[in-house]
């Protein structure tokens, strides 16, 4: 049975008898799918095009399943579509355009161009719309990953199509077809010579139409072309102007996505040439509705642009006061560019922001702004629970590090030494390690300075092991200085080392150790006296005595 059907269909395919076409169309209504598919395939491959023409005549009445089978196996059907589009049977042009779109038949674009250019063609407008649709579909294929199951190479298809579109664009003064220009812009690259000539010459017949489409075109390919000029270091002024004038939401979203975390070098150069964006108007509250990435990009774009400083500041203020954390952080970093009274006021607001990264960004600016109390505020921030804030505060106080302190140590007054030393302890997290390294150097001068600085900074207890080691140093002056420094540590181990130092052969070491022991003893006695005074004046029970007041004994 199957062999008989195959033989019959094969015979009907090659038969020159036109009655074979009607037989094949009757076979399309067969309840057997094998017969249906075979009949359709025979109609598409007959040498005589009458079957294909008949398919096109019945196209509008065919169901989607039948049309899908044509798409899967078009055979010579595109040849009939080309003839129909060019007006050989004008009434079939709408069906031919629909079939061309379903088949993604990009080879028909030259025919569609001819039809769209012809003022005498009643379907010129339809041909232009079909042309734009096919160009948009080809752009989608070019923008996405290539489907290698299809033998057609979209890059080669674009090359051929663009060549035809270029010729038609040059004839714009004759046909004035907007669809042809739009299709051209969908597929052309910004380096295209014809496009460059148009944008460089306001008197070109196609200039106004091109500018209008680039300014208002909604299709992704047109927007891609406009945004591509951001990366062109030699972008024409007209392209940048139209980029700044676009106010549609889709384009703005694409622009901000293009800017990304930070604009490229070429984008910065081009943005500097743009002095205004109409969509950044007087009321900026809409910005807070942007997502985190978009708010960050707005800040980057505005700061790189050629907008006036007051206009930039308004954007930064809006996002810093009302934006999401990521946007506020970007705005806080950009605030460094605004050093006036308004910038200072905003910095004082931002330093109290709940977002640690915002605080950190502003902390780095406080001292350069010359704000009263900035030093005190930075010292407070060193105790922040957030590491990023602590690090920022320390960077802002970087001159208060151990190295700078030791370099200026001999020139400082005692009171200044003490206050600065306490600051060094807070600011420089490596102060203890640095002093330990100084104490191990061969230079007597540097070791003595470190021994003198350790009590001022308040890190004797942390360095006690290094000081114990120096009590056995070969230099009696170093030993004496170590003994003096240890008076600031009252640990039992230190007392034992100082008592041993009383046996030192050097009188100066003996005297230093004795003085330190006396200071430690006085400190211990003062502490006991203070505790007794507190106990006598207290109305609450001491630890370990329960919840009852201590009663005085009756004499």
Each residue of 353-410: pLDDT tens digit? 999 999 999 999 998 888 888 888 988 898 899 999 999 998 888 888 899 989 999 8
- Give the C-alpha separation, 400 to 457, whole Å: 12
- Give the C-alpha separation, 45 to 51, whole Å: 9
- Give the C-alpha separation, 259 to 303, whole Å: 12
340, 386, 388, 451, 467 from 471: Cα distances, Å: 56, 40, 40, 12, 6
State what percent of residues in the chain have pLDDT above 90: 58
Each residue of 138-162: pLDDT tens digit? 999 998 776 656 667 889 999 999 9
Task: Let me know: does 406 contact 449? Beta carbons within 8 Å.
Answer: yes
Query: How far, in whole angstroms, is CA 303 from its chain's centroid?
Result: 15
Report which listed range, 34-38, 71-75, 140-144, 225-229, is most confident: 225-229
Task: Let me know: does 453 contact 424? Beta carbons within 8 Å.
Answer: no
Asked if residue 85 has pLDDT above 60, the reply is yes
Candidate CATH numbers 1.25.10.10, 3.40.50.970, 1.25.60.10, 3.40.50.10140; the one for domain 402-524: 1.25.10.10
State residue 3's pLDDT score: 67
Average confidence (pLDDT) over 53-65: 80
Lowest mean pLDDT among 10-24, 58-72, 155-169, 518-532: 10-24
**What letter does residue 204 receive in the DSSP assignment?**
S
Asked if residue 445 has pLDDT above 90, the reply is yes
Overall pTM surpassing 0.85 (yes/no)? no
Asked if residue 541 has pLDDT above 50, the reply is no
**What letter does residue 551 receive in the DSSP assignment?**
P
Report which listed range, 232-241, 299-308, 522-531, is most confident: 299-308
**80 — pLDDT class (breaks 50, 70, 90):** confident
Asked if residue 550 has pLDDT above 90, the reply is no
Asked if residue 534 has pLDDT above 60, the reply is no
Each residue of 309-343: pLDDT tens digit? 999 999 999 999 999 999 999 999 999 999 989 99
Each residue of 402-415: pLDDT tens digit? 999 899 998 989 88
Domain map of the chain by residue range?
Answer: 1-103, 402-524
Asked if residue 115 has pLDDT above 90, the reply is yes
- Give the C-alpha separation, 418 to 41, whole Å: 98
Which is higher by pLDDT, 76 or 387?
A: 387
**Which tokens hold the place of 26?**
């009757």
Asked if residue 524 has pLDDT above 70, the reply is no
Each residue of 446-457: pLDDT tens digit? 999 999 999 999
Each residue of 160-210: pLDDT tens digit? 999 999 999 999 999 999 999 999 999 999 999 999 999 999 999 999 999
Q: What is the largest CA-CA distance in the chain?
A: 143
- Give the C-alpha separation, 170 to 206, whole Å: 8
Residue closest to 51 by CA, chosen among 29, 74, 72, 24: 24
């Amino acid at each position: 049975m199957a062999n008989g059907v195959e033989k019959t269909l094969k015979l009907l395919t090659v038969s020159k008898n036109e009655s074979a076409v009607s037989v094949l169309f009757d076979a399309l209504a067969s309840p057997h799918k094998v017969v249906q598919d075979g009949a359709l395939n025979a109609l598409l491959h007959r040498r005589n095009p009458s079957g294909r023409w008949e398919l096109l005549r019945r196209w509008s009445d065919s169901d989607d399943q039948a049309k899908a089978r044509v798409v899967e196996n078009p055979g010579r059907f595109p040849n009939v579509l080309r003839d129909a589009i060019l007006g050989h049977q004008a009434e079939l042009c709408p069906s031919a355009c629909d079939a061309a779109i379903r088949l993604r038949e990009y080879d028909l674009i030259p025919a569609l161009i001819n039809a769209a250019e012809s003022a005498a063609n009643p379907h010129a407008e339809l041909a232009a719309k079909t042309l734009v649709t096919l160009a948009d579909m080809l752009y989608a294929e070019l923008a996405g990953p290539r489907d290698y199951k299809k033998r057609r190479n979209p890059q080669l298809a674009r090359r051929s199509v663009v060549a035809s579109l270029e010729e038609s664009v040059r004839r714009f003064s004759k046909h004035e077809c907007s669809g042809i220009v739009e299709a051209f812009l969908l597929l052309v690259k910004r380096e295209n010579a014809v496009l460059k000539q148009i944008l460089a010459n306001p008197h070109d017949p196609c200039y106004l139409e091109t500018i209008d489409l680039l300014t208002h075109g909604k299709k992704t390919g047109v927007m891609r072309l406009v945004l591509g000029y951001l990366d062109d270091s030699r972008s024409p002024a007209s392209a940048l102007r139209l980029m700044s004038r676009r106010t549609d939401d889709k384009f703005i979203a694409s622009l901000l996505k293009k800017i990304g975390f930070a604009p490229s070098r070429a984008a910065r150069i081009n943005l500097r040439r743009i002095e205004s964006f109409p969509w950044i108007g007087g009321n900026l509250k809409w910005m807070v509705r942007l997502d985190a990435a978009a708010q960050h990009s707005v800040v980057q774009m505005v700061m790189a642009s050629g907008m006036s400083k007051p206009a930039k500041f308004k954007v930064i203020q809006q996002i810093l006061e009302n934006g999401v954390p990521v946007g506020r952080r970007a705005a806080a970093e950009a605030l460094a560019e605004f050093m006036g009274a308004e910038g200072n006021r905003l910095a004082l607001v931002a330093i109290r922001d709940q977002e640690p990264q915002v605080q950190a960004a502003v902390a780095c600016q406080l001292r350069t702004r010359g704000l009263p109390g900035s030093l005190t505020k930075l010292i407070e921030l060193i105790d922040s629970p957030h590491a990023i804030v602590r690090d920022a505060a320390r960077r802002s106080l970087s001159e208060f590090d151990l190295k700078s302190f030791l370099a200026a140590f001999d020139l400082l007054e005692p009171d200044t030494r003490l206050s600065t030393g306490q600051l060094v302890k807070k600011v420089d997290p490596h102060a203890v390690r640095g002093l330990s390294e100084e104490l191990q150097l061969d230079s007597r001068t540097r070791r003595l300075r470190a021994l003198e600085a350790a009590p001022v900074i308040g890190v004797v207890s942390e360095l006690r092991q290094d000081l114990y080691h120096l009590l056995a140093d070969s230099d009696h002056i170093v030993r004496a200085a170590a003994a003096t420094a240890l008076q600031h540590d009252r640990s039992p181990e230190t007392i034992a080392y100082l008592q041993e130092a009383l046996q030192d052969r050097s009188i100066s070491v003996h005297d230093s150790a004795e003085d330190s022991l006396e200071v430690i003893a006085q400190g211990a006695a003062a502490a006991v006296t203070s505790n007794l005074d507190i106990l006598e004046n207290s109305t609450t029970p001491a630890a370990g005595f329960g919840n009852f007041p201590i009663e005085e004994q009756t004499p």
